[in-house]
Amino acid sequence: MYDEIINNLKQQISNEELDELKNHNLHLGIFTEPYLTYMLDGKKTIESRFSKNKILPYNQICKDDIILVKKSSGDVLAYFTIKDILFFDLSKTKIDEIKFNYSKQLCVGEDFWKNKQNSNYATLIVIDKIVKLNPFHINKRGMQTWIKLN
C-alpha cells in the first residue's frame, strides 16, 4: 500500500515535497462524513480517535508524522501535518473534560460523546496544515480505521 500511495503522490507533488513526506512516518487515517468535509474546509482543527484498547494511533504517532486522509469506502483526498498530539488515559482524565475543552475544534455533538462513553483511551491530533490532493484510489482491505504505513 505504501508504494501505491507514493506512486500516486509522485504525480501530484514536487520531488522535494515527496522527499519530505518520505522522511516522516506516514499514517493512513480513514474518515467519515460530516467530519471529513469539516476537516477539508478547515472548520475541524482536531482529529480524535477513541478506543477501548491501546490501538493505533494511541501512543504510536508523533508530531513529525504525516497523516494521509482517506474517505471511508472512497479515495485518498489529502494529507495533513500535525501541530500537536494529546494522549489521554480515560481512567485518569474524564471524558467530560475532553468534551468541555475540545468539542468545538472536533466539530462533534452529543451523539458523538454518547458513543465514546465506554472508551478507555483517546488520541487528539491537532491539525497543522492540510494539503488537498487530486483524489486517488488505493487497494485497502480490512476494517482498520488507522494504518501506520512505514
**Can you tell me the mean pLDDT for 63-75?**
96
Half-sphere exposure of 26 (CA within 13 A, CB side): 21
The helix or strand, by DSSP H or E, that contains position 80, with its residue range, turns out to be strand 76-89
Select from 146, 150, 140 the least CA-distant residue to 28: 146
Select from 93, 100, 86, 89 the least CA-distant residue to 46: 86
**Can you tell me the mean pLDDT for 58-77?**
96
The pLDDT score that the predictor gives to residue 117 is 96
The pLDDT score that the predictor gives to residue 142 is 87
- The type of residue at 104 is K
**Can you tell me the mean pLDDT for 14-31?**
95
The pLDDT score that the predictor gives to residue 141 is 84
**Can you tell me the mean pLDDT for 122-143?**
95
Burial of 31 (C-beta count, 10 Å sphere; 0-12/13-18/19+): buried
Residue 127 has pLDDT above 90, yes or no: yes
Residue 103 has pLDDT above 90, yes or no: yes
Residue 81 has pLDDT above 90, yes or no: yes
SS3 67: strand
